[in-house]
Each structure stands twice: as C-alpha cells, then as structure tokens.
Amino acid sequence: MIMTRKRRKLPARYAAVLSPLVLSLLMTFIVSFISTLKSLGLHPALPAIWLAAWGLSWLVAFPTLLLVLPVVRRIIGWLCESAVP
C-alpha cells in the first residue's frame, strides 16, 4: 500500500493576497525578461540585469495589483453576468 501525505493548505482568507502575489510574480518575471532581452539582446550580463529589472517591476506591480484588483472586479461584475443563477 502506498501512503500519501496530504498537503496542508492555507485558509481561504489568504486567497485575496496570494492571487495578486502569484500573478505579479509570474507576470513581471515574464514581461521583464522579454523587455530586457529586447533591449540588450543575448548579452552576457542579461541574467543579472534582468533580475534587477524584475525585482523593481515586482515592487511596483504587487502593490498596484492590490490597489487595482477591487476596481477590476467591479468592472468585470458590470460587464459579465454572475456565474451563480
């Protein structure tokens, strides 16, 4: 018999902060890489410059998402019907 250990999850109340956290990390990671690569090309210092650009962009993106997300949710609620009948 294979024993599997159940992974503990965070309570649902953390989703409101974790969602913009993960979104900002992934979004800025990809966008800053593309932007840095386009600016520098395949430069030997690309990884170091990209990580510095990513860190700065994430410092701006995460608080921005926290502030803007409630407004976005209201706009989406205005544009789309509710999923609950």
| Res 84: pLDDT | 75
Instruction: Give the Cα separation of 35 and 27 in Å (integer).
Output: 12
Q: Read off the pLDDT band of 48 (50, 70, 90).
A: very high
Two tokens, residue 71: 């407004």
The domain segmentation of the chain, as residue ranges, is: 18-79
Q: pLDDT, tens digit, for every residue of 4-27?
A: 778 899 999 999 899 999 999 999
Rounded to two decimals, the pTM is: 0.76
φ and ψ of 3, to 5 deg: -95, 125
| Res 21: pLDDT | 94
| Tokens 């395949």 found at | 42
Specify the long-range contacts of residues 3-11, CB closer than 8 Å, at least 24 apart. Answer: none
